[in-house]
Amino acid sequence: MQRLLVVDDDPSMVRLLSRLLAGMARIHFATSGEDALLQIRQNPPDLVLLDAEMPGLGGYETCRQLKADPALVHVPVIFVTAHTDTASETHALTIGAVDFIPKPLNPPVVQARVRTHLALKRQSDVLRRLTATDALTGIANRRAFDDGLQLEWRRALRSHAPLSLLMVDVDYFKRFNDTYGHPAGDACLRAVARVLAQTARRAGDLVARYGGEEFALFLPATNAFDAFRLGESLCQGVAALGIPHAASSAAAHVTVSVGVATLVLPCDGAEPPRAACHDCDQAPHCLAAPEALLALADEALYAAKADGRARVVDRVGIVGQGYEADA
pLDDT for 284 equals 64
As a whole number of angstroms, the distance between CA 127 and CA 305 comes to 37
pLDDT for 129 equals 77
Decide: 78 and 112 in contact? Cβ < 8 Å. Answer: no
- Does residue 137 fall inside a structural domain? no
pLDDT for 155 equals 81
Residues 121 and 147 in one domain: no
Residues 161 and 306 in one domain: yes
Decide: 266 and 320 in contact? Cβ < 8 Å. Answer: yes
pLDDT for 325 equals 45
CA distances from 223 to 107, 174, 180, 315 (A): 51, 33, 39, 11
- Does residue 206 fall inside a structural domain? yes
pLDDT at 82 over 50: yes
Residues 211 and 312 in one domain: yes
Residues 162 and 110 in one domain: no
pLDDT for 97 equals 94
Q: What is the mean pLDDT of residues 81-88?
A: 84
pLDDT-above-70 percentage for the chain: 91
Residues 247 and 119 in one domain: no
Domain that holds residue 309: 142-324
What are the two backbone dihedrals, phi and then psi, of residue 210, each rounded to the nearest 5 degrees?
-80, -30
Residues 169 and 196 in one domain: yes
Decide: 176 and 186 in contact? Cβ < 8 Å. Answer: no
Residues 48 and 190 in one domain: no
Q: What is the mean pLDDT of residues 154-165?
A: 84
As a whole number of angstroms, the distance between CA 75 and CA 94 comes to 15
pLDDT for 282 equals 65
The per-residue pLDDT for range 211-227, each reduced to its tens digit, is 999 999 999 999 999 99
What are the two backbone dihedrals, phi and then psi, of residue 99, each rounded to the nearest 5 degrees?
-165, 175
Decide: 31 and 8 in contact? Cβ < 8 Å. Answer: yes
Mean pLDDT estimate for the chain: 89
As a whole number of angstroms, the distance between CA 188 and CA 191 comes to 5
pLDDT-above-90 percentage for the chain: 69
pLDDT for 274 equals 59
Residues 232 and 104 in one domain: no
- Does residue 149 fall inside a structural domain? yes
109, 131, 153 — which closes off a domain? 131
The per-residue pLDDT for range 273-286, each reduced to its tens digit, is 555 566 666 666 67
Residues 186 and 119 in one domain: no
- Determine the residue type at 195: V
Residues 316 and 237 in one domain: yes
| Residues noted as catalytic | 213
Counted domains in the chain: 2
SS3 54: coil
CA distances from 242 to 93, 121, 236, 251 (A): 57, 43, 10, 10
More confident residue, 191 or 282: 191
**What is the CATH number for 301?**
3.30.70.270
- Does residue 136 fall inside a structural domain? no
Decide: 323 and 317 in contact? Cβ < 8 Å. Answer: yes
Residues 113 and 148 in one domain: no
pLDDT category of residue 7 using cuts at 50, 70 and 90: very high
pLDDT for 326 equals 46
Residues 12 and 70 in one domain: yes
pLDDT for 275 equals 57
105, 131, 157 — which closes off a domain? 131
- Determine the residue type at 162: P
pLDDT at 30 over 50: yes
Question: How crowded is residue 228: how many other Cβ atoms within 10 Å of its Cβ?
Answer: 22
pTM of the full structure = 0.69
**What is the CATH number for 83?**
3.40.50.2300
Q: What is the mean pLDDT of residues 290-294?
A: 88
pLDDT at 301 over 50: yes
Q: Which residues of 45-60 are buried (b: 16+ CB within 10 A; e: fewer)?
A: bbbbbbbbebeebbbb
Question: What does the chain come to in residues?
Answer: 327
Among the listed residues 300, 299, 263, the one whose alpha carbon sits nearest the alpha carbon of residue 149: 263
96, 131, 166 — which closes off a domain? 131
pLDDT at 270 over 60: no
pLDDT for 273 equals 54
- Does residue 255 fall inside a structural domain? yes
